[in-house]
Structure 1
């Protein structure tokens, strides 16, 4: 009797050891009973009936997925190499286990094809200057397609866009030409504004002839303040008007 009791006690201990399961805070157990989905358990301590019930452990923490470098042809026919990183997590453990065989591999393959298809619809300039918009578009598409797998795509970041060397030189020439264009426009606008101010000044001086003489004196003062040997004598045009009229023949003669 003692041997049978000891055997029974060992059997109970082994059964309890196999039945008691402990899950961490970030883990869930998808439990199947006789092959059929039963429920999701965890976290903490729970009992799993051996043989009759089996469980699949699922991690709910955010997973960082590094998307391999993809060859992308942009809308303006430029070949570039692009890689990205995706942050996702499981929000429905039952769907992740039942609906897809390998959620990580499926998400990785889907992210690669989505990255190529989305970037292929944009020009190279948009890839370089509108990364936030592209990240949002890729995230929206991935999140919609992985929702059936119980996966939530939290964020997508395009890490690097590798441009061919010839295209880098072309972009540099384009940027230099753009800067020269802007410089010419700014210079032309400055000349235009200066001409407007000169016209306004001429109108003011025309209304007060004495102001012209004051301007002459101010110019002489500025020149005298510099160390040079140039001497300028302003000669009013009114004094020359008489000589000019004297040299003209009289039409009445």
Structure 2
């Protein structure tokens, strides 16, 4: 009894089955596959899910659509007011067109990194140090717009740019510390002067009010003696009537020569 299939036929079937199994590719939800057939790219990227790639006729390049954070190396920058700085940044990007990211550029990560370094130096070199420190959000937006204009032709979207760290020379840090200290002293002196001015105004108002009722001065005098007596000390307080002080002032201002005249 002959076998239904000869050995060469069985071998051919096994090779065909293995080839088909090997041609099955599974792409994750965040992956897309750019397929080249005989060197020509297919119309659109494939995936996610199961796709067939028949090698060696087809070749596939996997591209991730997830966001990627890329750190820009520290750059030596001279600001418009001639201050030398070292500035680095973090860029968040993602691929929006996998086909362009494969066929338009050799390495979109490296290309974006180079654009980021040159843009960071050119933009921050046009501003002064105070503007860099005070308006960082506006500069981040400007850098993002410029880099995104460079990366759009090869299907990469720059989502955000954040200036991460600004390293200044020690001499500049000391100068800024002195400036901040001087500003604090100026504010303290102004506040102290305003307090003295307000206190003087209140004293004038209080004196004018007390002068309307002479007995109020006596009451205030007795209240002050009561406050002194509360403290445990060895101070001897001798109460002197206010009337005696008035008589003493009159006697001191009396001039006999003027009286004879």
TM-score range with shorter-chain normalisation?
A: 0.7 to 0.9
Q: 1:80 — aligned with what?
A: 85
Unpaired stretches in structure 2, ≥5 consecutive residues: none
Question: Over residues 140-194 of structure 1, what are the superposed CA-to-partner deviations in whole Å (9 max), with x where a residue is unaligned?
Answer: 3323432232222233332322111211221222222122112111111211221
Q: 2:254 — aligned with what?
A: 246
TM-aligned CA distance change 1:177 to 1:234, over 3 Å: farther
| Greater CA drift, 236-245 or 183-192 | 236-245
| Greater CA drift, 183-192 or 150-159 | 150-159
Q: How many residues get paired?
A: 253
Q: 2:13 — aligned with what?
A: 9
Output aligned runs, 1:31-110, within 5 Å.
31-38=35-42, 39-110=44-115
Q: Quote the Cα distance in structure 1 between the aligned partners of 2:234 and 2:146.
A: 75
Q: Quote the Cα distance in structure 2 between the aligned partners of 1:42 and 1:19.
A: 14
TM-aligned CA distance change 1:244 to 1:67, over 3 Å: same
Q: 2:190 — aligned with what?
A: 185
Q: 1:231 — aligned with what?
A: 237
Segments ≥4 residues shifted beyond 6 Å: none
Which one of 156, 166, 172 corresponds to residue 171 of structure 2?
166
TM-aligned CA distance change 1:23 to 1:97, over 3 Å: same
Q: Quote the Cα distance in structure 2 between the aligned partners of 1:245 and 1:163.
A: 71
Aligned residues of 2:67 and 2:93 also touching (Cα < 8 A)? yes
- TM (norm. structure 1) is 0.86
Which one of 198, 201, 205 corresponds to residue 206 of structure 2?
201
Q: Quote the Cα distance in structure 2 between the aligned partners of 1:65 and 1:109.
A: 11
Aligned residues of 2:143 and 2:161 also touching (Cα < 8 A)? yes
Aligned residues of 2:218 and 2:242 also touching (Cα < 8 A)? no
How large is the RMSD of aligned CA atoms in angstroms? 2.6
Output aligned runs, 1:111-122, within 5 Å.
111-122=116-127
| Greater CA drift, 219-228 or 167-176 | 219-228
Q: 2:23 — aligned with what?
A: 19
Q: Quote the Cα distance in structure 2 between the aligned partners of 1:150 and 1:234.
A: 95
Unpaired stretches in structure 1, ≥5 consecutive residues: none
Aligned residues of 1:216 and 1:234 also touching (Cα < 8 A)? no
Question: Displacement of 1:29 after TM fit?
Answer: 0.5
Secondary structure of the equivalent of 1:104?
A: helix
- TM (norm. structure 2) is 0.84
Whether 1:125 aligns to 2:124 is: no
Output aligned runs, 1:213-224, within 5 Å.
213-224=218-229
Q: Quote the Cα distance in structure 2 between the aligned partners of 1:234 and 1:28.
A: 101
Question: Displacement of 1:119 after TM fit?
Answer: 2.0
Q: 2:153 — aligned with what?
A: 148
Q: Quote the Cα distance in structure 1 between the aligned partners of 2:108 and 2:225.
A: 86
